[in-house]
Amino acid sequence: MLSNSAKYALKAVLYLALHTSEDNKMMVKDIYTNINVPQSYLAKLLQELSKHDIISSSRGPKGGFYLSAKNLGLPLIRIVDVIDGEQRLRSCMLSIHECDSENPCALHHLVGNANSDFIKNLEQTTINELILEVRAGKSVLPL
Amino acid sequence: MLSNSAKYALKAVLYLALHTSEDNKMMVKDIYTNINVPQSYLAKLLQELSKHDIISSSRGPKGGFYLSAKNLGLPLIRIVDVIDGEQRLRSCMLSIHECDSENPCALHHLVGNANSDFIKNLEQTTINELILEVRAGKSVLPL
DNA sequence: TCCGAAATGTGATTTTTATCATATTCTGCG
DNA sequence: CGCAGAATATGATAAAAATCACATTTCGGA
């Protein structure tokens, strides 16, 4: 469903959302231990996210990664689409091309709306909204 | 969610369910073209399924793979558990161990009951039930 | 202006998954 | 019995995903 990379990326972004801001950046080496992702792998992922303007960064001393207000408004789907590509999440359970709700493959009913609901949620929920829930204690981030 | 192998296995089993029986067996070479799975890869998967008594087989001339009445009564989950292992399907969206509905991780709500519903369906639906739906025209198997 | 701290870019290595190939064993039939 | 047709066993190769390593660029501050 989600690749390891996408999960890592989500974790990292959520962590940044909780702990950084424009004037409180964070370096990879201070992040990776906290979210339990291999250092240089995380570095690569963050660079990718940064390149696609999903997170922000600045180099040099006092530099690091962070989330701007603008970044916080992005829907979660952006993260997984950038890392996994848009296909992966949206492919049919049996990887059959001609499968949709009009012409459902045999497993379609079993999945039900599971997958499409999940995608819809990822599209409609912003990073910020998710963080608000965490702060409100409605969910947890035991990264 | 499901590995390629698991998808292949599901396709193969469904195909066998539709087209074989105790006295109408089928060889890999007559199956693989129909379900669009590489021949020797399919062979390996069928052997694995056979070893775990999910499908039946017999060697020699007039031999091949088939589904017995007993096989038909198995729940679909058996197929994916044998091929993918029991962990894969059941791991949390962020691969966080301590994540369940009691103590939901941040993404838990986004997935909603999607995943657990799917698993439940796989557990409760037998191969035969699925095939009946296909025969009744309620769903399609464009393998 | 120069040094060091940080991200960035590039590519090599390892591990897992998918795929292919081939030798071996079993079994029905003449 | 013996041969040919089938699954079974084993392991080699290819491709993709995950991981690691290091040289390069950029930038703030002394």
pLDDT in tens, A51-62: 999 999 999 999
Q: Is B92 on the interface with A (CB under 8 A)?
A: no
Average pLDDT of the segment spanning A16-43: 95
Per-residue model confidence (pLDDT) at position A18:
94
Footprint of strand D on the protein (CB under 7 A): A 3-5, 8, 37-41, 43-44, 58-63; B 26-29, 40, 43-44, 46-47, 50-51, 57-65
Q: Report the nearest residue to nucleotide D8, CA vs C1'.
A: B47
Q: Is A100 part of any domain?
A: no
What are the Cα distances from residue A6, in Å, to A36, A64, A88? Answer: 14, 21, 11
Find the Å distance, CA of residue A94 to C1' of nucleotide D23: 44
- For residues B79 and B67, what is the distance between their CA atoms, to the nearest angstrom? 13
- Position B63 pLDDT exceeds 80: yes
Q: Is B55 part of any domain?
A: yes
Task: Please name the residue of chain B whose CA is at the shortest distance from the CA of residue A77.
Answer: B110
Task: Please name the residue of chain B whose CA is at the shortest distance from the CA of residue A140.
Answer: B105
Span between the terminal Cα atoms of chain B, in Å? 19
What percentage of chain B reaches a pLDDT higher than 70? 89
**Residue of A1, A76, A103, A121 to mutate, interface with B, max B Cβ within 10 Å:** A1
Of all nucleotides in the shown strands, which has a C1' nearest the CA of A56?
C7
The number of folded domains in chain A is 1
**Beta carbons of A1 and B90 less than 8 angstroms apart:** no
Per-residue model confidence (pLDDT) at position A142:
62
- Position B1 pLDDT exceeds 90: no
Q: The domain containing residue B35 runs over which residues?
A: 4-85+126-135
Per-residue model confidence (pLDDT) at position A107:
73
SS3 assignment, position A24: strand
What percentage of chain A reaches a pLDDT higher than 90? 65
pLDDT tens digit sequence for B26-48: 999 999 999 999 999 999 999 99
Per-residue model confidence (pLDDT) at position A35:
92
Output Rg (C-alpha) for chain B, integer angstroms. 17
Q: Is A71 part of any domain?
A: yes
Residue owning tokens 């999945």: A111
Q: Is B108 part of any domain?
A: no
Helices B127-135 and B4-19 sit at what angle, rounded to 10 degrees? 60
Per-residue model confidence (pLDDT) at position B139:
76
**Beta carbons of B26 and B19 less than 8 angstroms apart:** yes
Q: How many CB atoms lie within 10 A of CB B108?
A: 19
Q: Is B21 part of any domain?
A: yes
Kindly determine whether residue A118 and residue B111, on different chains, have CB atoms separated by under 8 Å.
Answer: yes
- For residues A17 and B106, what is the distance between their CA atoms, to the nearest angstrom? 12
Q: Is B50 part of any domain?
A: yes
Q: Is A47 part of any domain?
A: yes
| Residue A26 DSSP one-character state | B
pTM for this model (two decimals): 0.87
What CATH number corresponds to the domain at position B67?
Answer: 1.10.10.10
Find the Å distance, CA of residue A43 to C1' of nucleotide C11: 15
pLDDT tens digit sequence for A71-130: 999 999 999 999 999 988 887 666 666 666 667 777 777 776 777 888 888 999 999 999
pLDDT tens digit sequence for B79-137: 999 999 998 888 766 666 666 666 777 777 777 667 788 888 899 999 999 999 888 88
Q: Is A36 part of any domain?
A: yes
Strand C within 7 A of B118 CB: no
Kindly determine whether residue A142 and residue B96, on different chains, have CB atoms separated by under 8 Å.
Answer: yes
Please name every residue paired with A105 in a beta bridge, in sequence order, or none if there are none: B140
Lookup: tokens for B24: 């109408």
pLDDT tens digit sequence for A105-118: 777 777 767 778 88
